[in-house]
Amino acid sequence: MLSDLIGELPQLLVNGLVAGTILALPAIGFTAIYAVLRFPNFAIASHATMGAYAGYVANVWLGLPVIPSLLAAFVVPALSGMACDEVVLKPLRRTGPLTAAIAAVALTIALENVIRFVFGNDLRGYDLPVWRDWRFDLGFAVLRVGPQQVENAAISVAVMAMVFLFLAFTRTGKMMRAVADNPMLAGIKGINADTVARLGSFMGMGLVGVGGMLLGLDTSIDPLTGFRAVLSVFAAAVVGGLGSIPGAVVGAAVVGVGEELSLLVLDASYRTAVGFLAIVVVLLVRPRGILGERAF
């Protein structure tokens, strides 16, 4: 029994870390939008799906390889996120963040149905080269790693590195951090909050879209792809501290590994419930999340 457990553990840890790395992108997107606009934008669900389908169109219909397809998965949801925020959510934020949150749920249902209208409910798969899994014998356990998993994780790490460099060293990145930290002070220093808000939506939804496509690369996509992942994304953001970007990365790792380790004791279909449990535990024990709410 115990040796079975030890034998399974390395595989689950590796799977969990890979899942957490991919989860980190939409979690960063969600938390970044929260940091700048101060409301939970539930439209991430449909934008993750949108990213997955934009990548699908580029990859399967236009025959592009994965990396350029990911660019489509970034740009389409990024533009949509910016436009939707400008037209739909921004006027409602004045009424209060909760009204905007309700409208965001309606928005995500509306967009999901636009996707359903065009593509139908069928499962679709990407056009990917088929690789054999790598096997490692650790002595006490055998580890199987798919090259696609590794590639997805590497892409995710590369995108995260770009996000951090952008926020740390560019003028625009510093502006975004300033607004997240203290909007009033940023305004006094002459930073245009509207520009930063648009940038936040653009970047945030773009990252969510890339995350959606990476989630789909592993399996297949349908109009509910984003919605199914959304609980894990919330969990990652809340566990790390809503509004904190490094927190989202830590939270995603915790949730990713936690979901995999839960397989030892729970049925696989309860994986997403683990995210909810993580939210509740963190809210009870450490309401500001692991890294607190500082944006960066």
Partner 1 sequence: MENYLVAMAVFAGLYGLMALGLNVIWGMAGMINLGLVGFMAVGAYTSALLTVRHATWPIPLGILAAVLVTATAGALVARITARMRGDYLAIVTLGFSEVVRLVAANEIRFTNGTDGISAIPGPWRGEVAPATFNLIFLGLTALAVLVVYLVCQRIRHSPYGRVLRAIRDDDQVTAVAGKPVLRFKTEAFAVGAAITGFAGALYGHYNAYIAPEGFVPLITIYVVLALTAGGTGTNAGAVVGAVLVVAFMEGTRFVVAAIPGLAAVQIAAVREFLIAALLILLLRVRPQGLFPERHIRHPVPDPR
What residues line the site for partner 1 (CB under 8 A)? 34, 39-40, 42, 88, 91-92, 95, 97-99, 101-103, 105-107, 109-110, 113-114, 116-117, 120-121, 231, 234-235, 238, 242, 267, 269-270, 272-273, 275-276, 279-280, 283-284, 287
Smallest gap from residue 116 Cβ to partner 1 (A) = 4
Smallest gap from residue 40 Cβ to partner 1 (A) = 5
The total number of residues written for the chain in this structure:
296
Please report the beta strands in the chain, taking only residues with DSSP state E, as ranges in sequence order. Answer: 134-137, 142-145
Among 1, 56, 3, CA closest to 209: 56
Q: Are 44 and 62 in contact (CB under 8 A)?
A: no
Nearer to partner 1, 57 or 273 (CB): 273
For the record, the structure tokens of 22 come out as 């991919």
Smallest gap from residue 279 Cβ to partner 1 (A) = 6
Nearer to partner 1, 64 or 109 (CB): 109
For the record, the structure tokens of 34 come out as 């929260």
Nearer to partner 1, 107 or 253 (CB): 107
Smallest gap from residue 122 Cβ to partner 1 (A) = 9
d(C-alpha 178, C-alpha 199), whole Å: 13
Nearer to partner 1, 143 or 273 (CB): 273
Q: Are 77 and 56 in contact (CB under 8 A)?
A: no
Nearer to partner 1, 66 or 221 (CB): 221
Which DSSP symbol is given to 287?
A: T
Per-residue buried b or exposed e for 12-49, using 16+ beta carbons within 10 Å of the residue's own CB: bebbbbbbbbbbbbbbbbbbbbbbbbebbbbbbbbbbb
Nearer to partner 1, 66 or 236 (CB): 236
1 CB neighbour count, 10 Å cutoff: 5
Smallest gap from residue 176 Cβ to partner 1 (A) = 19
Nearer to partner 1, 113 or 172 (CB): 113
For the record, the structure tokens of 237 come out as 């953001």
Per-residue buried b or exposed e for 215-229, using 16+ beta carbons within 10 Å of the residue's own CB: bbbeeebbbbbbbeb
Smallest gap from residue 294 Cβ to partner 1 (A) = 16
d(C-alpha 255, C-alpha 244), whole Å: 16
Smallest gap from residue 269 Cβ to partner 1 (A) = 5
